[in-house]
Amino acid sequence: MEYNFLNIIDILGTIAFAASGAFSAMERKLDPFGVVILSFVTAIGGGTLRDMLIGNTPVAWLRNEVTALVILATAFITLFFGQYVKQFHKTLFLFDAMGLGVFTLIGVEKGLQMHLSPGICIALGTITACFGGVIRDVLLNNVPLIFQREIYASACIIGGSLYLLLQQTPLNDDINAILAIIMIVVIRIVAIRYKLMLPRVYENRM
């Protein structure tokens, strides 16, 4: 993976995830400490769970102060300038989609490094990208959003699978990563634009 380019997307994704956590906390009228914690768990929860599952400890954010500072700054900016930040919801959505993409690939890569099987690598990618939001929702006492018909985790599964497929081609890894991230971003944009959802296949069967 090309680290300079992907690192920037990583940080943009972290900002978007942290802002999403902060907004959720503010909607529930949590105190400033709660807002900071929700920013943190949303931004680093998925990667933390992944690192604990594979035994990659101390988990990533403990060794990377930049991530912690970015999240802290995002939390406080959202806290004090919430109205203003909200105007950028389209930008935040785009960052979020890019974050989703890059977090998925980071998770898949970690699985590959540990020689885990392809399906498990995709699962690790999806966990990395999606479980921060799951923990955020659990802490706020909501049933996790991503279990409720939105195309979110599905985008990660498709993007992760594409990345593994592309690795069978002679294309170089940088290009594979970028193509997979673009795929995830496009799926997210299309899903939101056309309000696509997963079907409830069992509707009439229960």
- What is the contact surface with a second copy in residues (CB under 8 A)? 25-34, 37-38, 48, 52-55, 57-59, 62-63, 65, 68, 79-83, 111, 114, 116-117, 119-120, 123-124, 134, 138-144, 146-150, 153-154, 197-202, 205-206
Q: Toward a second copy, which CB reaches closer, 6 or 37? A: 37
Q: Toward a second copy, which CB reaches closer, 134 or 183? A: 134
Task: Kindly list the distances between the CA atom of residue 9 and the CA atoms of 83, 90, 119, 120, 169, in Å, as whole numbers in the listed order.
Answer: 24, 16, 25, 24, 25
Least Å from the CB of residue 193 to a second copy: 19
* Count of C-beta atoms within a 10 Å radius of residue 153: 21
Look up residue 61 and give its DSSP letter.
Answer: G
Q: Toward a second copy, which CB reaches closer, 1 or 72? A: 72
d(CA 123, CA 160): 9
Q: Toward a second copy, which CB reaches closer, 9 or 109? A: 109
Least Å from the CB of residue 26 to a second copy: 6
On the question of a cis peptide bond just before residue 32, with omega within 30 degrees of 0, the verdict is no
CB hemisphere CA count around 116 (13 angstroms): 18
Least Å from the CB of residue 188 to a second copy: 14
